[in-house]
Structure formats: C-alpha cells, structure tokens
Structure 1
C-alpha cells in the first residue's frame, strides 16, 4: 500500500510538473508573440524608413496626361478626301515611291556572294588580275558544290519570279497613288502643307489664308456695277480691273550708311489687287 501510494503520489507530482511546464511554455509563447507584435509596432512607428519611402508611397500623384495622337492627315478644309487619297497622303510629303523594277544585277551579285561564303569558294586573285576583263572566270567545283549551286539557282529563279509579280502589283498601286497626288496638287482651292511640329500632312482652304482671289472678284464686281451705273467709263473699268493678282511681296534693302548693314523692309504692291490692271 505504501509503495502504491508513493508511486501514485510521484505520478501526480510528475503530471503536475508537466502541466506547470506546459502552462509556462504557453505563457512564454504568448509573451513572445505579444513581444514580437509590440516590437513590430514599435519598429513601424519609431524606425525611420530609408529615403522616406513611406511618404513616397502614401503621396498622391496626379493622373498622367493622356498621350496626344497626331493623325497622319489633318483636313480642316472643305475638300472631302476619299479613302485612297487619305492612304496616299498618309505616307507623308517626303515619301518616295520605288521604281518597281527588279534589280537583277544586284540580285545575282548577292546570290554569288552568298554561295561563295557558304561553300568557302576562293579564287586566285593574282591569277584573276592577269586575265582580261572580257574573259570569264571558270571555277573548278566538286559534284557536291555543283549540286548545291543548282539548288540555289532554282530557288533564286523562284524568288525572282515571285518578286517580279509583286513588283508589278506594287507598280499599279503606286501608279494610282501618284495620279491621286497629282490631282490633289492641281486643286487650286486647297493648300497642302506640313504641321509646325512633328510629321504629317495638313490640307487647308486657300481662300482662308490667301484672300487674293476673293478680293479680286469683289473688286471686279464693284467696278462692273459702277460701270453699269455710269460712274466710270469703260476705259477706266479696264484700267482698274485686276487680273492675275498676287499677294504683296516683302523684301529688304540694305542700309549701307549703318553698321552691319541692316535691312529696311519694303512692301512691293506690284500686280496686287489694289495696283490695278495695265493702262
């Protein structure tokens, strides 16, 4: 009995010690977790961030400006452009159309250079220089090299035929575009120019920026009305009637009596609307 009671008491003591150790461990874990959380809070509050990164992140920035898209063709004029005309003008004022002719000489030279690089074909340049200019250079090729040369020749002929067909199609397209551009260039009611910044094409009404023709028509109408009402004679009408008017020209005359010869601006009104016709 005494041994049993002593063993049971020892077991109880062991269990109590285990429970106390577990409780202590739990308390330690809670203390460690609370300490770590408090340390994190303290670090977030007290530790300075490098280069003020928090201020940069929390700072509100304005929205970036929307990108400005410049159309290749701007048409504020009264001219209504077709889709083909728009496509022709979209290439720009400095666009040069290709001739549409297959460069056979350059193509053959490139193929021969490619074959020589591929097969490491070399010639005796000293012996080659001693030959006449009209004499053909004969290369001694192996059967394998001849076979590859035949294959390259057949492929080159296929490329040449396809390129000629595509160039013919491009010539037709370029021809129609060039004709459209010529018709637009002959239109006296519009001005085709470029913007002040960037690239592109701008179409503008000629009368909005050069009122010479409009002023000439108004003056002719007024003179005709005065002639019908007998305020002026027919001879005076023909003298004052403008014909083929142009805007006034400005030029400069050097002032030779001053240093650096500055220019004096002069407005030439010859053949303008107000200058009148020939006597």
Structure 2
C-alpha cells in the first residue's frame, strides 16, 4: 500500500541502480583522462543552497576566456551528480573549451520546477564570474545527457521562446545570442511518450517521473506539459547536436522526433543515429563508453559540432 501512496520507495531503488551504473561508467572513463587540464571545484552558485554547486574544467595554464560548455548531468531527475563522467568533461576541456558541470536538486526530496530555477541561476553565476572561470560569455553551449538533456533543452527553450519563459515563470539569465548551440544526448522531450514501457524499465520511468513531478498522474500534470519541450521549441532554438543509441528506446520515441521538428523549423541540426541492426547494440548513454568505437565517434562529432560554432 505504501508504494501506491508514495513514489519514494521505488524512486530510491531507481536511484541506487542509476548510481551504481554511473559509478561504473565514471570509473571506466578514468583510463582516458587526458592530463593537462585544471579544475575549479565545488563552487556554490546559489547562496544557502547546498545542492547548487558546480565544477569547472579548462586547459592547464589557461589565462583567457574560452568557449564554454555548460553540462547538466542525467539520472532520471532523481539521481546523479556533477562528478559523474568527470573524465568526459576533462576530455572536452582538453580540446580547447571551458566545461562547467552543474549539480541541481533531485527528486523525490525536491520537485519540479526547483531544478529549472537553479540551473538558470547557475547560468547567471557563470556570467557574473566569467573572467575567473575562463568563460567567454558570447560563446556558451548548453549540454546534457538523459534527464540532463531534457533540462538543457528546457533552458534553451526558455532562452529562445519568450512566451514559454513566461509560462514557466523564468526570466532567462542568458540571451539567445550568447548560446551558440545545444548538445543533447539520449534525452527526453515528450513526457507523454515516455509512459507504457515494458517491465522494470516502464516501472522505473513511472516512479521517477512521479517522484520528480510530485503527481501520480504525471502525464496530465503542468510539470509534464512544461517539461515536454518538443511542443514548445521554435525556429529560434539554437543549433543542436542530437544523438541516441539504436538500442535505446528513447531514440525513436524522443530524440528523432525532436530532431525532425527542429529541422522542420529550419534549425541547424546535426544528428548521430545508427541503423536498427547496428552492432554492437548501443544502449542508453552509449556516448560515455569510450572503450567502444561508437562512443569515440560520438565524442569527435560533438567536438566538431562545438568547434564549428565558436568562430
């Protein structure tokens, strides 16, 4: 009966599973650490908020402002932290970028839209401390994976769609001209198309979204409607790199529809998708597997996307 009244027990199980898997991925990435990268860690971007921290990575000895990738981690909105996949951020930094990895509050302890307000404040902090953090305020990229891709797409929509910003009651810290592009890996952009999954995966999605939105009938909730950026993006959305694995159910149900809609608006979209019969099958968050050739290809395509938009 408790499980029917509260998402917390199920959400904590999902958190444990995601946390275990994230630790394994983070550990496997360490062998690819590039060296020659400095970091500024554990900066509080919001006063009196213990969840509002960020880490900054940049090439060693950097004295100038660099194009900056602001990365929001995944974890089904109920797990994860800014240190997950740290080597990946170091690798991006080694290519000539400043990379900012953000923490934010997660469910079920905190609910939507807490994270949106935090991330917008993080953007304001990054701008206010641009010189110290080696950030070029005119060359910002928003990036994320899984739930972090959803959050990044939502912030990008807030920045580029004033009507949507009014709807969610957020005044964006970044101007549209400051955002050079968006990197979206394995994300969620249409909450209604998330439900109905089979078995334990469907159960986990249900508990995660219930925990994050605070609404058992989350599909019809205001939170779910606002989170579903597929229905709010416009022709002013920034250029986007969108990718997902062929064995990730989110690719056909989420990533491809967003790519198609943006392309239809005339937005510049760079996609990396794979044939259905691609081997090995590429699951959720495949891009962090740099032991595999496809993860390396995804990383290089990401760097190419970023580099093409900094001049």
TM-score > 0.5, shorter chain as reference: no
TM-score relative to the length of structure 1: 0.17
- Greater share of residues in helix: 1
Q: Which has the larger radius of gyration?
A: 1
TM-score relative to the length of structure 2: 0.16
